[in-house]
């Protein structure tokens, strides 16, 4: 009997972040990555894929294999572990980051974490998987060669081709080419930079310019960067040492990444860093701070420093802040707010404008073409990108002569068939969110209500009835609708008039029905507030009998 190989993204297709991909063969399932993306509205900080589909098939899920340690690939594990409860497989650095996350979530003792050496292989019947070293903006990024009786898939995770990555190994082109020679059924690959011409720059290029810029500064220097970019961290530490400065870490995520990098030997030969408290006894010209907050995150170290809220780190006119990072789309407003605050305080701001102090971790068009040439797949399945990125990646693959391309979307099951790959089924997909300490569907009624509250406001109306059934004049409160007491008074009067019109024209028996009273209140309030302010608030009615 012939079994087909199928591919199912539950996150990361049609969006950047929240990566979660599934493969199935002969009723066995394999998950690759389990990531999050970050929310920025209505108190939701973290979003993750809805795993309902695979939870219902958990007994057939053979394991979760992690390509690397970025949040958009591993960040959902602490929140979804209790729903999945299957073995985890990752290389040493990624395993350390995962263990720290699961320890904080209180589930580390329950989890089976299998540490796989670089270039290692595992067998999760019917899948045989080899880890192939790539380069990216974090240590130990891996492509996965997923071998099945139906053929081999190269699943790249995030990657670029960096001939001088500063830490870790270079991309294992020889192994990729060997798989290409043997025959690759499908390439499932990163689409983030599909519109970017040329090649992604090297970390060695950044090191040259960043070292020079740090050496030119006279006062305190702060470098803000992605905490996971250990190569950039090492560059800054070496530059600081070269110019007689001590390095200080500011930000918990930096401290966690630093500890994992030390344990794996990626920061060997460098002086120990100072804590922010230890740094208080040093002259400012002798210090270089590495800070979280390059994306303007309000709770990150740089934001606290900019607004003079950090308990140990201050900043003043003449100091320098270097943004050794890129602006993630959607974060521009927050980043500019921090930069304007720094400028207001007389701080010099150095941004990356020509790839001198930051380079991407994702493949540009020539990198993609080289991967096509090495692997020579029958099918290209672009992932990890918005729709436009994946479509452009597919076009590039067609131009390179790949016989078949198919652009997925979350919830689409694709039959990976060399003759004619196609979408054969659609299944439930969606988003879960971390709401306080609870993981709930993003489509939950209370989340929808919170969206409405954030846009329209809310009105509370309370009636009291006496023992004869007569109603008192209602008490009305408006939240998020009125700018001052005078406006509130006028809106309350308008609402009273609308209520009076409705209540005067209904039969007394209907007033005994709390639902009917609430319905009439909603009509009255919406008429009044819409006429008054153009808003249609949520209305909560209480009738005390």
Q: State pLDDT tens for residues 473-492.
A: 677 777 777 667 776 777 77
Q: In this predicted model, what pLDDT tens digit does every residue of 148-193 receive, in sequence order?
A: 999 999 999 999 999 999 999 999 999 999 999 999 999 999 999 9
Who wins on pLDDT, 329 or 364? 364
What is the SS3 assignment for 396-464?
Answer: HHHHCCCCEECCCCCCEEEECCCCCCEEEEECCCCEEEEECCEEEECCCHHHHHHHHHHHHCEEEEEEE
Residue 169's pLDDT is what?
Answer: 94
HEC string of 8-32 equals EEEECECECCCCEEEEEECCEEEEE
Each residue's pLDDT tens digit, 328-355: 877 888 999 999 999 999 999 999 876 7
For 279-306, how does the pLDDT look when each residue is reduced to its tens digit (9 = 90+)? 999 999 999 999 999 999 888 999 999 9
Q: What is the CATH number of domain 203-350?
A: 3.40.50.10710
Q: What is the pLDDT of residue 212?
A: 95
Question: Which of 378-392, 426-440, 444-458 shows the lowest per-residue confidence on average (mean pLDDT)?
Answer: 444-458
- Residue 510 pLDDT: 58
d(CA 44, CA 434): 6
Please give the CATH topology (third level) of the domain spanning 457-544: Ubiquitin-like (UB roll) (3.10.20)
Supply the angle between the helices 203-216 and 230-242 in degrees, to the nearest 10.
40
DSSP 307: T
Task: Return residue ranges of the chain for CATH 3.40.50.10710.
Answer: 203-350
Residue 469 reports pLDDT greater than 60: no
The whole-number average pLDDT for the span 22-42 is 90
Residue 230: closest CA among 197, 270, 201:
270
- Kindly give, in sequence order, each residue whose CB lies less than 8 Å from that of residue 542, ignoring residues fewer than 6 positions away: 460, 461, 462, 463
Look at residue 468 in the predicted model and tell me its pLDDT: 52
Q: Is 446 exposed, middle or buried (0-12, 13-18, 19+ CB in 10 A)?
A: exposed
For residues 10 and 16, is the Cβ–Cβ distance under 8 A?
no
pLDDT level of residue 467 (50, 70, 90 thresholds):
low
Domain 5-198+360-441 has CATH 3.40.50.880: no
- Residue 470 is predicted with a pLDDT of 60
Of 394, 377, 200, 225, whose CA–CA distance to 294 is shortest? 225
Do you know the residue count of the chain? Answer: 545
Q: What whole-number distance in Å separates Cα of residue 190 and Cα of residue 365?
A: 11
Indicate the pLDDT class of residue 503, thresholds 50, 70 and 90.
low
Is residue 226 within 8 A of residue 390, CB to CB? The reply is: no
Residue 299 φ/ψ, nearest 5 degrees: -95, 0
Q: How confident is the model at residue 1 (pLDDT cuts 50, 70, 90)?
A: very low
- CATH code 3.10.20.580 region(s) in the chain: 457-544
Each residue of 246-256: pLDDT tens digit? 999 999 999 99
Give the separation between CA 276 and CA 282, rounded to whole angstroms.
10
The confidence score (pLDDT) of residue 540 equals 75
């Amino acid at each position: 009997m012939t079994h087909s190989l199928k591919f199912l993204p539950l996150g990361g297709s049609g969006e950047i972040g929240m990566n979660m991909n599934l493969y199935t063969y002969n009723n066995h399932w394999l998950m690759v990555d389990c990531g999050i993306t970050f929310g920025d509205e209505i108190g939701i900080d973290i979003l993750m894929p809805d795993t309902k589909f695979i939870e219902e098939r958990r007994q057939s899920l053979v394991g979760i294999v992690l390509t690397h340690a970025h949040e958009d690939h591993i960040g959902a594990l602490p929140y979804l572990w209790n729903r999945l409860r299957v073995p985890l497989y990752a290389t040493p650095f990624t395993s350390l980051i995962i263990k720290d996350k699961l320890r904080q979530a209180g589930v580390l003792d329950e989890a089976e974490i299998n540490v796989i050496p670089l270039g290692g292989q595992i067998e999760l019947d019917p899948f045989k998987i080899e880890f192939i070293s790539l380069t990216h903006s974090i240590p130990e990024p891996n492509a996965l060669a997923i071998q099945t009786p139906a053929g081999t898939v190269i699943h790249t995770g995030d990657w670029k081709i960096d001939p001088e990555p500063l830490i870790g190994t270079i991309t294992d082109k020889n192994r990729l080419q060997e798989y290409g020679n043997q025959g690759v059924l499908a390439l499932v690959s990163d689409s983030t930079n599909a519109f970017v011409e040329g090649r992604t720059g090297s970390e060695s290029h950044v090191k040259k310019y960043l070292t020079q810029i740090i050496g030119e500064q006279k006062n305190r220097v702060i470098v803000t960067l992605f905490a996971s970019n250990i190569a950039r961290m090492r560059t800054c530490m070496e530059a600081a040492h070269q110019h007689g400065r001590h390095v200080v870490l500011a930000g918990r995520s930096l401290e966690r990444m630093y500890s994992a990098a030390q344990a794996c030997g990626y920061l060997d030969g460098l002086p120990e860093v100072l804590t922010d408290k230890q740094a208080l006894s040093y002259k400012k010209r002798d210090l270089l701070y590495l800070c979280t907050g390059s994306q303007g995150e309000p709770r990150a170290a740089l934001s606290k420093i900019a607004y003079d809220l950090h308990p140990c780190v201050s900043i003043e006119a003449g100091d320098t802040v270097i943004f050794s990072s890129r602006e993630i789309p959607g974060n521009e407003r927050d980043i500019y707010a921090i930069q304007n605050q720094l400028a207001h305080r007389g701080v010099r701001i150095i941004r990356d404008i020509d790839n001198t102090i930051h380079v991407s971790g994702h493949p540009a068009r020539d990198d993609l073409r080289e991967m096509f040439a090495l692997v020579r797949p029958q099918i290209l399945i672009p992932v990890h990108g918005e729709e436009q990125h994946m479509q452009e990646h597919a076009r590039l693959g067609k131009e390179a002569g790949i016989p078949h391309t198919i652009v997925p979307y979350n919830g689409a099951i694709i039959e990976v068939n060399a003759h004619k790959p196609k979408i054969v089924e659609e299944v439930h997909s969606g988003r879960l969110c971390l709401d306080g300490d609870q993981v709930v569907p993003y489509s939950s009624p209370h989340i929808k209500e919170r969206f409405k509250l954030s846009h329209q406001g809310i009105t509370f109306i309370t009636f009291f009835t006496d023992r004869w059934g007569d109603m008192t004049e209602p008490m009305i409160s408006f939240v998020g609708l009125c700018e001052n007491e005078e406006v509130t008074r006028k809106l309350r009067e308008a609402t009273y008039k609308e209520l009076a019109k409705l209540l005067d024209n209904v039969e007394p028996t209907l007033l005994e029905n709390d639902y009917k009273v609430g319905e009439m209140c909603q009509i009255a309030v919406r008429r009044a507030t819409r006429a008054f302010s153009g808003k249609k608030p949520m209305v909560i009615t209480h009738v005390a009998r």
